[in-house]
Structure 1
Amino acid sequence: MTNSWVEHAIWWHVYPLGFLGADTTGADRRLEHRMPRLERWFDHLTRLGANGLALGPIFDSGSHGYDTIDHFAIDPRLGDEADFAEFIEKAHARGIRVLLDGVFNHVGRGFAPLKRAEADAAAPENAWFRRAADGSFENFEGHDALVALNHDEPAVADYVVSVMNHWLALGADGWRLDAAYSTPAAFWRSVLPRVRAEHPHAYVFGEVLHGDYVEFVEASGLDSVTQYELWKAIWSSIESGNFFELDWALQRHAGFLETFVPYTFVGNHDVTRLADQVTDARHHAHALVVLMTVGGTPAVYYGDEIGLHGVKEERAGGDDAIRPAYPVAPTADWPGEEGREVFELHQRLIGVRRRHPWLHRATTNTLSLSNLGYVYEVSAGPGERLVVGLNLSDEPLVAAGVTLAPHDWVIVGE
């Protein structure tokens, strides 16, 4: 594994357009150098205990960032390439890795090769896009503003290789591949060797919602995929009082770890926030305990580390609540007492992760299981063992040598 640095990576995941207060409707795309403001949050990131910044889209797009117009240009609402260069330099000086979000499954309507294809039926760029039976360009999941690329076209693979290598050469440390589940695994298998030939230490993982994770990783050559199964099981088992769901997910998770280390999370830019998924605030900590004590490469979505609420809605602008603006810079009274308590909990649990880096590849073994009580052992080898207890009940939990007060949690072996 050439990107062994990932074993120690803990990501703070930021959606830059929202975080920096840019207009995401496409109505105002004027140049504004917002990206340097993100540098003011490096102290916050490192105090949290993270050492990586996973950025959402930063490339020129028509609206929300996932309708890319030019993969070689920084979105003017964020700044320009000079801002990016300074940003990378300052991040690396702080020991912060930077991950970019690559949207290579589809493009926005303003994408120059698409414009050429629309203007001239004989243009070679027509081969870059899939056509429906009626001759129109196919779109992504019914979104007409997102035009699907034809991944059987060699020129598309060449283009993606050139984009990935361009930004890695400018200092990026890796890529999240948006909607990788909609892109043929064989496409990534053709692209990634050419990227790794120039940048062997880059970390590349794909957005995959469901299906056979292991098969996709092996077929695509990706380092990892998003562990949505575990994400769902964590909040759902806690909210419904059914730890059997989480136990089953962790058994499957252990199987994944035999092949690859999943990218793990309890929140991101596409889902309702944990603080709303789990309605009993006493149990928010339980979700984070699981995230930070099981195998994986964990990410904390900005706002979750201070307990923000936000519900995703299936409508225009329905993502705005989960992609809010942060202050221009941290202030002495931000984020308030409740937010600081949540932040300190994150610090405490990320500290566990830091003290036990073997957790990256650790697997779990169930010691005690009921609907409202769960005790599991997490281990990776001799001398590498913790016991985690979770209690959702109004009654004390005494099981597997662990004693827990109502609604409490514990990590034994720390």
Structure 2
Amino acid sequence: MIVWPESAVWWQVYPLGFTGAPASASPGEPVAHRLRGLEPWLDYLAGLGCTGLALGPVFASETHGYDTVDHFRIDPRLGDEGDFDRLVAALRERGLRLLLDGVFNHVGRGFPVFRRALEGDPEAARWFRRTGDDPAGGYATFEGHHALVALNHAEPAVAAHVEAVLSHWLDRGADGWRLDAAYAVPPGFWRRVLPPVRARHPGAWFAGEMIHGDYASYVAESGLDSVTQYELWKAIWSSLNDRNLFELAWALDRHDAFAEKFLPLTFVGNHDVTRIATRLDDPRHLGHALAILFTVAGTPAVYYGDERAMEGVKEDRPGGDDAIRPPFPAVPFAGSPPEAHTLHRELIALRRANPWLARARTEVLHLTNEAMAYASAAGDRRLTVLLNTADTPYAFPGGLGTVAAHSWSVVPG
């Protein structure tokens, strides 16, 4: 078992947006060393209490980073391999870890092997899935996106390529991988690819993106260490908006079942969803959402800007991600931090002071539509969380305490 993720708290950054890189790559353009712009923010990350940087796609791509054309090259819009090495060194100096983001379900149409396939190379053609049974038919795409060509995970050359990519960047200093669109990849593919990578890097951590499906079965069949916990994400904001904490109770019961099998990657915001500060109907409930995130099992991640209650809506249109993937200034923010930042810092400190929470089990002690008490415990260690979303104070039974309207508290023991 890999132990270090149990004490990890990630700060997730989408680097193309964070650094203000152009939306599309321009062949022949000189390298722009934007990746260095992350270095001044590492002390900010550490000051927040996070233990590592979960870095979005940095490999050469055509547009948004998930249409990769070269897995072994840093996107010239961000820099080069030297810039990557500098970032790794800067992280190490601060005792911080690095989680990379790689998509191995599909590639961009400019991927060299796909170009050879289009030119009639039969060996190259085997790298990609076909539509229908006709081997001369068209190439399958990811969820209907023409620019994203689906890889054929039954092809040994694809497995060898992915194994080589994973190992290459772990060799260069990464601590693990977030595997984008893992839900679209047959779990047996990871079961073949990961063992030789783990043999070289036994401490590496692999978390797959799962939006839907049977999380626990996928982890068991794939050999991954973790998957993203979208069920909990949805239940947190939805139950707070609807003042229906029965939904949250149901999700926490599901979450407990997952946590018995693996260490979920938990979050209330990421690069693919509307910002939590926008999603919540009542801004007074941001603390409730964060209290839940940091007091239940899993490895939590904070999406950059959420710690400042930044807003942004995810839209289903070209450019619809821009609002949730904004540029950050060249130097960290000055002046007194906003309330959301202080709240994040305090709850992350609570989490790091109680690392056993990563493996805790959660029991609901009291439940109404608008109020909930639950205990997270491991062995003889225990925290009790009181949530009140009502417009009036709520007195919890059993001597648990009274909580003000639209407030929450965490009680040791």
Q: Does 1:256 align with 2:258?
A: yes
Q: CA RMSD in A?
A: 1.2
The aligned residue for residue 359 of structure 2 is 361
Report the CA distance between 1:131 and its aligned residue.
1.0
State the alpha-carbon separation in 2 of the partners of residues 260 and 214 from structure 1.
7
Alignment of 1:223-238 (within 5 A): 223-238=225-240
Q: Which amino acid in 2 is paired with 1:99?
A: L
Report the CA distance between 1:402 and its aligned residue.
2.1
The aligned residue for residue 394 of structure 1 is 391
State the alpha-carbon separation in 1 of the partners of residues 208 and 296 from structure 2.
20
Report the CA distance between 1:330 and its aligned residue.
1.3
Q: Does 1:103 align with 2:103?
A: yes
State the alpha-carbon separation in 1 of the partners of residues 351 and 325 from structure 2.
27
The aligned residue for residue 14 of structure 2 is 15
The aligned residue for residue 47 of structure 1 is 47
State the alpha-carbon separation in 2 of the partners of residues 176 and 329 from structure 1.
27
The aligned residue for residue 347 of structure 2 is 349
Report the CA distance between 1:90 and its aligned residue.
1.2
Percent identity reads 57
Contact 2:25 2:77 in 1 (8 A): no
The aligned residue for residue 76 of structure 2 is 76
Q: Which amino acid in 2 is paired with 1:123?
A: P
1:386-412 alpha-carbon deviations (Å, 9 max, x no partner): 110010101111114221011110001
TM-score of the superposed pair, with normalisation by structure 1: 0.97
Report the CA distance between 1:332 and its aligned residue.
2.1
Alignment of 1:310-321 (within 5 A): 310-321=312-323
State the alpha-carbon separation in 2 of the partners of residues 91 and 406 from structure 1.
41
Q: Does 1:290 align with 2:288?
A: no
Q: Which runs of 5+ in 1 are unaligned?
A: none
Alignment of 1:312-331 (within 5 A): 312-331=314-333
Deviates more, 1:25-34 or 1:373-382: 25-34
Q: Which amino acid in 2 is paired with 1:85?
A: D
TM-score of the superposed pair, with normalisation by structure 2: 0.97
Q: Which runs of 5+ in 2 are unaligned?
A: none
Alignment of 1:26-175 (within 5 A): 26=25, 30-120=30-120, 122-133=121-132, 135-175=137-177
State the alpha-carbon separation in 2 of the partners of residues 248 and 59 from structure 1.
39
Contact 2:287 2:343 in 1 (8 A): yes
Runs of 4+ in 1 over 2 A off after TM superposition: 25-30
SS for the counterpart of 1:249 is: helix
State the alpha-carbon separation in 1 of the partners of residues 155 and 42 from structure 2.
41
1:127-163 alpha-carbon deviations (Å, 9 max, x no partner): 0001113611110000000000000001100000000
SS for the counterpart of 2:64 is: coil
Alignment match of 1:371 (pick from 369, 372, 378): 369
State the alpha-carbon separation in 1 of the partners of residues 144 and 213 from structure 2.
21
State the alpha-carbon separation in 1 of the partners of residues 405 and 370 from structure 2.
10
Contact 2:101 2:178 in 1 (8 A): yes
The aligned residue for residue 408 of structure 1 is 407
The aligned residue for residue 3 of structure 2 is 4
1:350-406 alpha-carbon deviations (Å, 9 max, x no partner): 011011110011011111101110110110111x10110010101111114221011
Report the CA distance between 1:102 and its aligned residue.
0.8
Report the CA distance between 1:25 and its aligned residue.
3.2
State the alpha-carbon separation in 2 of the partners of residues 99 and 239 from structure 1.
32
State the alpha-carbon separation in 2 of the partners of residues 123 and 16 from structure 1.
36
State the alpha-carbon separation in 2 of the partners of residues 155 and 402 from structure 1.
61
Contact 2:356 2:378 in 1 (8 A): yes
Report the CA distance between 1:257 and its aligned residue.
1.1
SS for the counterpart of 2:338 is: helix
State the alpha-carbon separation in 2 of the partners of residues 329 and 395 from structure 1.
42
State the alpha-carbon separation in 1 of the partners of residues 30 and 113 from structure 2.
23
Report the CA distance between 1:24 and its aligned residue.
1.7
Q: Which amino acid in 1 is paired with 2:363?
A: N
State the alpha-carbon separation in 2 of the partners of residues 206 and 158 from structure 1.
19
Report the CA distance between 1:85 and its aligned residue.
0.8
Report the CA distance between 1:301 and its aligned residue.
0.3
Contact 1:26 1:64 in 2 (8 A): no
Aligned residue pairs total 407
- Inter-CA distance 331–210: structure 2 relative to 1 (3 Å threshold): closer
State the alpha-carbon separation in 2 of the partners of residues 59 and 228 from structure 1.
25
Q: Which amino acid in 2 is paired with 1:368?
A: H
